[in-house]
Amino acid sequence: MSLYSATIISQGTSYPNELTGSLYQFIEDTPGVLFHSIHNLAETKAIDFIVQLEHEADQKEVVASITPKFKQFAQDFNAKKEKKDRIDLILQPHEGRKDKKLFIFDMDSTLITQEVIEMIAGYAGVEDKVREITEAAMRGELDFNQSLAQRVGLLRGIESEKLWDELESRLIVTPGAPELTKGLKKLGITLGVLSGGFIPLANRLKKKLGLDYAFANNLKVETDSNTGKEVLSGETFGEIVNGDKKAELLQRIAKENGIDVKNAVAVGDGANDLKMMGVAGWGIAWNAKPKVQEEAQCALNSTSLRDVFYILGYSDPEIEDLIK
């Protein structure tokens, strides 16, 4: 018997009262899917509808056919609602959700709420120009390497001596990230951050959140001939951490730790995160760009990364035990 979880997570503080009835009726009306049971994960915030596939022999075919239907149900439901009443619906095999061994996160707009390169650009008054390029790259409209070179070129001449200390003091960690990483570590899960941003801050975030790995880009520095001070040269050095590199690094980390990539999860918001989501067993698009929401295995658009626990099948009492 193949069981699947249709996990509903409110994007606000609670899902609308009519949701459970609407979803139950949708399941009843969907060929090849049978209602099995309900498991409440969090009062009014998250709930599991467990369903059974009617035809075991055609499991892959049925899954391929019903996943778009569940996605369409959520889209139709959300179209009638304000943000606070919208939901995310995640359909996945019920068994094995808690068997994850590796979590890899993007940094900018995922583990932190900001885009670091835009913060640096503010020192040179080119924040708007950099933001425009960044947004196009994250939507998948520009080649990442070329967009990075363009953006980094605009940073030339910024004093670097105290740059990273100042930026660290301004970092805003995404709500729920400390609780999520603490709980995942308690479960013995290996954690890493792979960023198209810059290694000084990635390393500091690694230490702050207790991660095991951090990989990001390196900025070259030079001496200003007029002031004698160390400044950014407008170039990077070493390998670029782009989408391909993120996928490669995820697989390398998994291999180093004897982890099957099917038990790996990749979390990110930009187009350059899609390849690592593709090689991981599961991908979570976190408040992501439309292209990423469409192509990732699931999307989470709530206000706290703590809600990732619901995707793994943990209830509030279990989560509280993990993060205390």
What residues are labeled active site? 106, 108
Helices of type H across 122-267:
127-138, 144-153, 163-170, 177-186, 199-209, 243-256
Full DSSP string of 296-324: SSEEE-SS-GGGHHHHTT--HHHHHHHH-
Question: Cα(241)–Cα(104) distance, rounded to whole angstroms?
Answer: 14
Q: How many residues does the chain have?
A: 324
295 Cβ contact partners less than 8 Å away, ≥ 6 residues apart: 274, 277, 285
Separation of first and last alpha carbons in the chain: 36
Determine which helix (DSSP H) or strand (DSSP E) holds 97, and give its type and residue range: none
Strand partners, 189: none
**In the Cβ-directed half-sphere of 205, how many Cα atoms lie within 13 Å?**
34
Q: With CA atoms as reference, report the closest residue to 105 among 258, 252, 219, 209.
A: 209
Question: Cα(101)–Cα(92) distance, rounded to whole angstroms?
Answer: 17
Going across the sheet that includes 298-300, the strands are 230-237, 213-223, 190-198, 102-105, 264-268, 282-286, 298-300
Q: With CA atoms as reference, report the closest residue to 147 among 81, 221, 236.
A: 236
With tokens 């994007």, the residue in question is 11
69 Cβ contact partners less than 8 Å away, ≥ 6 residues apart: 30
